[in-house]
Amino acid sequence: MSSYFPCAGGRALHAPTRRDFVYGLGASLGSVAFSALLAANAGATSAAGPRPGPLAPRPPHRAAKAKSCIFLMMEGGPSHLDTFDPKPALERLHLKEFTREGREKSAMESGKRYYVRSPFRFRKAGASGADMAENWEHLAKVADDLCFYRGCQVDSVNHPTAMYQMNTGNRFGGDPGMGAWVTYGLGSLNQNLPGFVVLPEVSYPQGGAPNWGSGYLPAVFQGTPLRAKGAPILDLAPPAGVSPERQRRNLDLLARLDSAHASRHPGADALAARMESYELAFRMQMEVPGVLDLAGEDAATRELYGIGKEPTDAFGRKCLLARRLVERGVRFVQLYNGTWDSHDYIERAHSNLVRGVDQPIAGLIADLKRRGLLESTLVVWCGEFGRTPDNGVRGGTAYGRDHNPKAMTIWMAGGGVKAGHTIGATDETGMEAVDRVHHVRDLHVTLLHLLGLDDNRLTYYHGGRFKQLSQFGGTVINELIA
C-alpha cells in the first residue's frame, strides 16, 4: 500500500511505490480500470478506517475562479505574427536581409535570412478592439470574451522539448502533465468518468503520450486519450450476448464471494480495491457511451460547432465533446490540433488550419457562455512557441517562418481571466516579448491559481525532494486575472 503523509500545505501525499510507476496501457477500458484499481487501492478500507481515494473531490487551496479547464493545444507553433499580433514594421522590412544585432543565433538559422511580412490582413475585432487576422471570421464574434497574452516565453526551439515544457513544465519529459496535477489537487467531480481526458489526433503530437502522462504521480492521474477514429475507448462495450443486467448479476455474485473471502481475511485491502475497479469499469460502460454520443444535440448546436461539414467537422466534434465532458464534471480536457509548423507557404498552411478550428472554437466559447458554464470553465489556446519574423526559404518569398521561443500569443477565456484585454507586447518585428514578460512557469502557476490551487502547496515527494508543476516556483501573472 502507498503510505500517506502531509506536506507543508496540507495536501495528502503518497509515498510512491513500484505500482505507481506502471504507466500506460493504451486507450482502452482496461487502462482506465487499471488506473481505477490504483485509486481504489489508495482509498480502500484499512484497520484505521476508510481512506478517501485520490480521485475523490477535494477543496481547493483558495477560492477558485474556475472548476475545470479546456486546453486547446495548437501543436507545431502557430505564428503570432499571422494570427493575433500584427507587425506593420514588417511591411517596410519585407525581403530585407535579417540580422540579429548581437542576439544569440537560433539553431534554426542557416544562410542568408530575410524579413517576411504577413500575407494576412488584420482588423480590430469586438468592442475591445482585439487584433485578429481577417480569416478568424467566427472567433471575431466572441473577441470580447478573450484575454490575449503576448508576454510568455519558453526555453526550447525544438518541438518535442517545447511541447513537454508547455504541457509538463519540464523540457525533457517524464513529469506529470497539467491535467494530472489538477486532478491530483482537486480530484474528480464525476466518479464515473476520468478526471483528465485528452482528445488527440490520429497521429499523436511531438513527444507522444508523455505530454499527458502522470509522470511520478500515481498512474490514476494520467490523461485518458479518446481515439480520434473508431471506438473512442477500446473494449468499452461488453462482449456480444452479455447484457448490462447479466453483467450486474455477475458482479453481484462476485461481490458476495469476495465478501465471504474478505470476512475470513480482514484487512485484505487489495481485494476490496479490485472489486471497486470492476464497479467503476461497469459504471463507465453505463455513462461513457451517453457522453460520447453527440446525436442527442440539436441541429442548431451541431451547426454552431460546424459539425457535419468540412473542414470543421473533426475539430467541431472535439470541441462539443469537451463541453459535454466539463458539463459532466471532468476537470481537465485537452484538445490537440496540428500541425502549425509552417516553415513554408504559411498563407496556405495557416489558412487551412484556421478554417478547421475557427468556427468550432468560437462555437465552444458561445455555447459555454449561453449555458452559464464559461464563468466556471477556463479555456486556453496556445502552441508550444511562436514564430520568427524572418525566413531563409527561397529568399523569404515562401512566406514561411521558423521557431521562436521568445515570443508567442496565448489567449484565454472564462474562468476568471480579464476578458476583452490584451496584456503584454512584443517588439516591433515580433521577435521577442518586451512587456509583461513571463516564463511559461508563471503561466502554469497562474492557471493553477485560477483553479484554486497554489503551486507551492501542490507538491509531491519524489527523488528526494518535493516537486511541483513550475519545477521550482513561479509568480502569478495578476494582470491576466479579472
Rg (alpha carbons) of the chain, rounded to whole number: 24
Q: Which three cell numbers stand for residue 415?
A: 474562468
How sure is the predictor about 292, in pLDDT bands with cuts at 50, 70 and 90? confident
pLDDT at 18: 39
49-50 and 224-225 strand pairing: unpaired
Q: Is the pLDDT of residue 47 over 50?
A: no
Q: Given its phi and psi angles, is residue 102 left (phi above 0), alpha (psi -120 to 50 degrees) or beta?
A: left
Mean pLDDT, residues 41-60: 60
Q: Which of 72, 94, 119, 86 is nearest to 351 (CA)?
A: 119
Q: Which of 130, 113, 118, 156 is nearest to 350 (CA)?
A: 118
Q: Rounded to an integer, what distance in angstroms lies between the CA atom of residue 137 and that of residue 305?
A: 14
Sign of CA dihedral 293, 294, 295, 296: positive
Q: Is the pLDDT of residue 411 over 90?
A: yes
pLDDT at 291: 75
Residues 6+ apart with CB under 8 A from 72: 335, 337, 357, 361, 379, 380, 381, 382
Mean pLDDT, residues 118-138: 97
Q: Is the pLDDT of residue 277 over 60?
A: no
Mean pLDDT, residues 361-381: 98
* Beta carbons within 10 angstroms of residue 18's beta carbon: 6
Q: Which three cell numbers stand for residue 460?
A: 509531491
Answer whether the bond into residue 238 is a cis peptide, omega within 30°. Answer: no
pLDDT at 138: 98
45 vs 470 pLDDT, higher one: 470
pLDDT at 219: 83
Place of cell 469476495: 258
Q: Out of 15-24, 190-199, 247-256, which region has the weakest mean confidence (pLDDT)?
A: 15-24
pTM of the model: 0.84
Phi first, then psi: what are they for 424, rounded to 5°?
85, 170
Task: Name the residue ranges covered by the structural domains of the chain.
Answer: 4-53+241-287, 68-231+300-480
pLDDT at 421: 98
338 vs 159 pLDDT, higher one: 159
- How far from 184 is each of 29, 363, 376, 453, 482, CA to CA, in Å? 21, 30, 19, 11, 26
Q: Which three cell numbers stand for residue 444?
A: 502554469
399 vs 441 pLDDT, higher one: 441
pLDDT at 44: 41
- Angle in degrees, 0-180, between the axes of helices 269-292 and 244-264, rounded to the nearest 10: 160
| Residue pair 144/366 in contact by the 8 Å Cβ criterion | no
What's the N-to-C CA distance of the chain in angstroms? 43
- Side chain identity, residue 219: A
146 vs 218 pLDDT, higher one: 146
68-75 and 386-387 strand pairing: unpaired
Residues 6+ apart with CB under 8 A from 88: none
454 vs 108 pLDDT, higher one: 454
Note the pLDDT tens digit of each residue in 84-93.
999 999 999 9
pLDDT at 13: 45
Q: Out of 19-23, 194-198, 281-285, 295-299, which region has the weakest mean confidence (pLDDT)?
A: 19-23
Q: Rounded to an integer, what distance in angstroms lies between the CA atom of residue 459 and that of residue 457?
A: 6
How sure is the predictor about 258, in pLDDT bands with cuts at 50, 70 and 90? confident
Q: Is the pLDDT of residue 202 over 90?
A: no
Q: Is the pLDDT of residue 159 over 50?
A: yes
Q: Rounded to an integer, what distance in angstroms lies between the CA atom of residue 170 and that of residue 479?
A: 25
Residues 6+ apart with CB under 8 A from 422: 128, 130, 131, 147, 148, 149, 150
CATH topology of domain 68-231+300-480: Alkaline Phosphatase, subunit A (3.40.720)
| Residue pair 381/82 in contact by the 8 Å Cβ criterion | no
pLDDT at 243: 73
- How far from 38 is each of 13, 17, 220, 227, CA to CA, in Å? 14, 11, 6, 23
How sure is the predictor about 382, in pLDDT bands with cuts at 50, 70 and 90? very high
What percent of the chain is predicted at pLDDT more than 70? 76
DSSP codes, 383-428: -S-EE-SEE-GGGGTT----EETT---EEEESTTB-TTEEE-EE-T
pLDDT at 322: 96
pLDDT at 262: 73
Q: Out of 92-101, 268-277, 350-359, 397-406, which region has the weakest mean confidence (pLDDT)?
A: 268-277
Q: Which three cell numbers stand for residue 416?
A: 476568471
What beta strand segments (E) does 97-245 contain?
A: 114-115, 122-125, 130-133, 146-149, 152-153, 196-199, 224-225
Mean pLDDT, residues 207-215: 95
Q: Rounded to an integer, what distance in angstroms lies between the CA atom of residue 319 and that of residue 157?
A: 29
Note the pLDDT tens digit of each residue in 442-482.
999 999 999 999 999 999 999 999 999 999 999 999 999 99
Place of cell 515570443: 407
How sure is the predictor about 106, in pLDDT bands with cuts at 50, 70 and 90? low
User: What are the start-end ranges of the H helices in 293-393?
Assistant: 299-304, 313-327, 346-370
130-133 and 465-467 strand pairing: unpaired
User: What are the start-end ranges of the H helices in 2-46?
Assistant: 29-43
Q: Out of 29-38, 242-251, 287-296, which region has the weakest mean confidence (pLDDT)?
A: 29-38
Q: Is the pLDDT of residue 274 over 80?
A: no
Phi first, then psi: what are they for 149, rounded to 5°?
-125, 120
Q: Rounded to an integer, what distance in angstroms lies between the CA atom of residue 107 and that of residue 159?
A: 13
Mean pLDDT, residues 8-20: 42
